[in-house]
Amino acid sequence: MKKANYKIVSVSLILCFVISLTLLGSKVITMTNESGQSQLSNTVQIGNDYEEYKDIQTMKKDAGMVFQGTVLKVNKPVKLVEFYISNDKSRPYYAAYTISDIQVEKAIKGKLYPGDIVQIKQLGGFIDDTTWNSQDEPLLTEGTQGVFFTDPYKVNEEYPPSVLMFEQGIFKINDGIIKPNKLQTNLTINTKSNESSNGLTSVKIDDFTSALENLND
């Protein structure tokens, strides 16, 4: 299974003046609120160091769960352990995660049933005066429909799973059609219906899930 790694791209400290720092690519920028007062806040930009999947069959094989569902609720961000420095559990490194509640409509892989609620965590959110932004995984919003692939790897077994390979593991549904995002256009899968335009493929959701079910785990 491919394991993705995070890397900190930049850290910004918002003050009332501008200074450039060389440490960890940090920089200080100016921002004021509506009343004209300066605001103090840290912003951490996260880049994801990973090798993208080339086919959906491998994604399904590596995924812990695969299901079609709808996002019912996006919870407030929480602070979770991202990794342990030098693999020393006495030295945890924390990051902000946003956890979403998703109702299962169709189970494709995993011990799931229609109506089940699955929680998925995504890196990002505002907590402890720090905003965490992931470059490759926009946070889910309530009402989003899609087919979700979860990553079986967990830093802590008590945590909800992450999305498998970030944005590549969420196939969003609009009006019964899946239109791949920029990280999914290279993926291959045989379906009964597909429409190609400039390298993008649109697939009916029923055909997509049927094709997924027919793939070997």
Give tens-digit pLDDT for 19-37: 222 223 332 222 333 444 4
Cβ proximity of 146 and 15 under 8 Å: no
In a domain, 101, yes or no: yes
Cβ proximity of 180 and 196 under 8 Å: no
Task: Name the E strands within the chain.
Answer: 5-15, 19-20, 27-30, 41-49, 66-74, 78-84, 92-109, 117-123, 125-127, 130-134, 145-151, 162-163, 170-174, 177-178, 195-197, 200-204
- Give the separation between CA 128 and CA 152, rounded to whole angstroms: 28
In a domain, 13, yes or no: no
Kind of pairing, strands 200-204 and 145-151?
unpaired
Percent of the chain with pLDDT over 90: 46
- What is the average pLDDT across 180-187? 82
Amino acid letter at 14? Answer: I
Cβ proximity of 131 and 43 under 8 Å: yes
- Give the separation between CA 124 and CA 136, rounded to whole angstroms: 11
Task: Name the E strands within 65-129.
Answer: 66-74, 78-84, 92-109, 117-123, 125-127
Say how many domains are in the chain.
1
In a domain, 187, yes or no: yes
- What is the average pLDDT across 53-63? 92
Give the list of residues 6+ apart from residue 19 with CB closer than 8 angstroms, or none: 27, 28
Per-residue pLDDT tens digits for 125-138: 998 888 888 877 88
In a domain, 26, yes or no: no
In a domain, 198, yes or no: yes
pTM (2 d.p.): 0.77
Place of tokens 């892989």: 109
In terms of residue numbers, what domain contains 112? 48-214
- Give the separation between CA 101 and CA 197, rounded to whole angstroms: 34
> Of 2-6, 9-13, 46-50, 156-160, which has the strongest mean pLDDT?
156-160
In a domain, 179, yes or no: yes
For residue 55, what are its two tokens?
């086919």
In a domain, 193, yes or no: yes
Residue by residue, DSSP assigns 90-106 as TSEEEEEEEEEEEEEEE
Phi, then psi, of 38 in degrees rounded to 5: -70, 150
In a domain, 127, yes or no: yes
Helix (H) or strand (E) holding 210: helix 205-214
